[in-house]
């Protein structure tokens, strides 16, 4: 193993590797090799989702590595997410079972509600009307959460969490949950530090997991003049001084804040360098400087569902 996995502890007592491989936007033809490379390199945490459309290939890679004896199932920590069209309580079990089938697993280590807003059921993953506008469902995510709790009791899920929930939404779940969410997975990087949300989560025993920690430069809606985190000269200066890549500095930044971090790559050399981050530290001055880059710079605003009553970023809640 190139680098040792540092573990964090969830409020339910379970441990989880702090650094994982993200698989959003990893194409089906590439993701299987990326996951195999990651497991060979030493990653034990793979972050997946039904809507990514590549869980089958991720599952093939996991199965192959277990079969080869490189890793045991119990050494792996696999996350997936319940998509917006499956929020209705009677659809939750089927959606989970489909992800388990795709991944060729008997259980998930962590299952998240992917977004708080529900979409129209029984059709496409992105159901649209004649004008191309996303069709909403009014299912309350609290009811979705209550449908997940028995699946954990059955042993199909080890830990439960949420993703893209703002503070008010997380509070509503916590108020009515029998099983508390252990994680809120949100976009997080130096342009969107999430200081208030992190403090809010920490006070309630919920860990923050950072997706798009490198600024998601390959997001499909990126415009040519959008700021690129990986090209930020202030980050390059820190990286050059430490003899590291900007990506390594960005990953280390999240680790030192106590966040779970999920960098995505399908390139073996980058998957490897993104994992080699346990043998250096950022100074207090570095961390404070990087914190100061915060400008509410959200790269994943989910504009498609603006207007939904449960859209997490449309009101003044953080």
Please choose, from the candidates 271, 259, 269, 280, the residue with its C-alpha nearest in 3D space to the C-alpha of residue 211: 259
Q: Are 167 and 125 in contact (CB under 8 A)?
A: no
Please choose, from the candidates 103, 133, 113, 135, the residue with its C-alpha nearest in 3D space to the C-alpha of residue 122: 135
Overall residue count recorded for the chain in this entry: 318
Give the HSE-up count for residue 153: Cα atoms under 13 Å, Cβ half-sphere.
7
What is the distance in angstroms between the CA of the first residue and the CA of the last residue of the chain? 39
In whole angstroms, give the CA distance from residue 318 to residue 315: 8
What's the chain's Rg over C-alpha atoms? 19
DSSP code string of 171-208 = HHHHHH-SS---EEEEE-BTTB--HHHHHHHHHTT-EE
Told to judge if 52 belongs to the known catalytic residues of this protein, a careful annotator would answer yes
Active-site hit among 43, 52, 141, 211: 52
Please choose, from the candidates 3, 36, 27, 47, the residue with its C-alpha nearest in 3D space to the C-alpha of residue 183: 47
Q: Are 106 and 99 in contact (CB under 8 A)?
A: no
In whole angstroms, give the CA distance from residue 44 to residue 23: 14
Residues known to be catalytic: 52
């Amino acid at each position: 193993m190139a680098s040792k996995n540092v573990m964090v502890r969830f409020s339910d007592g379970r441990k989880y590797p702090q650094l994982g491989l993200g698989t959003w936007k990893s194409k089906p033809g590439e993701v299987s090799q990326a996951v195999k490379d990651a497991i060979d390199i030493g990653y034990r945490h793979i972050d997946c989702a039904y809507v990514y459309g590549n869980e089958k290939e991720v599952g093939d890679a996991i199965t192959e590595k277990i079969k080869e004896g490189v890793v045991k199932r119990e050494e792996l920590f696999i996350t997936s997410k319940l998509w917006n069209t499956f929020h209705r309580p009677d659809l939750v079990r089927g959606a989970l079972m489909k992800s388990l089938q795709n991944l060729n697993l008997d259980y998930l280590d962590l299952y998240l509600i992917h977004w708080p807003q529900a979409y129209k059921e029984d059709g496409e993953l992105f159901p649209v009307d004649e004008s191309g506008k996303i069709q909403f469902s009014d299912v309350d995510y609290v009811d979705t959460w209550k449908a997940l709790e028995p699946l954990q009791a059955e042993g199909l899920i080890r830990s439960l969490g949420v993703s893209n929930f703002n503070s008010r939404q997380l509070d509503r779940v916590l108020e009515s949950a029998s099983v508390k969410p252990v994680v809120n997975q949100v976009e997080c990087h130096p342009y969107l530090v999430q200081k208030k949300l992190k403090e809010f989560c920490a006070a309630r025993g919920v860990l923050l997991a950072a997706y798009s920690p490198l600024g998601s430069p390959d997001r499909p809606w990126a415009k040519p003049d959008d700021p690129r985190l990986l090209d930020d000269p202030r980050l390059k200066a820190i990286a050059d001084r430490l003899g590291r890549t900007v990506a390594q500095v960005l990953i280390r930044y999240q680790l030192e804040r106590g966040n779970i971090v999920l960098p995505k790559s399908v390139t073996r050399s980058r998957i490897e360098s993104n994992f080699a981050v346990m043998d250096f530290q950022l100074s207090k001055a570095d961390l404070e400087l990087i914190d100061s880059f915060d400008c509410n710079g959200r790269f994943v605003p989910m504009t498609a569902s603006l207007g939904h009553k449960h859209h997490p970023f449309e009101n003044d809640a953080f």
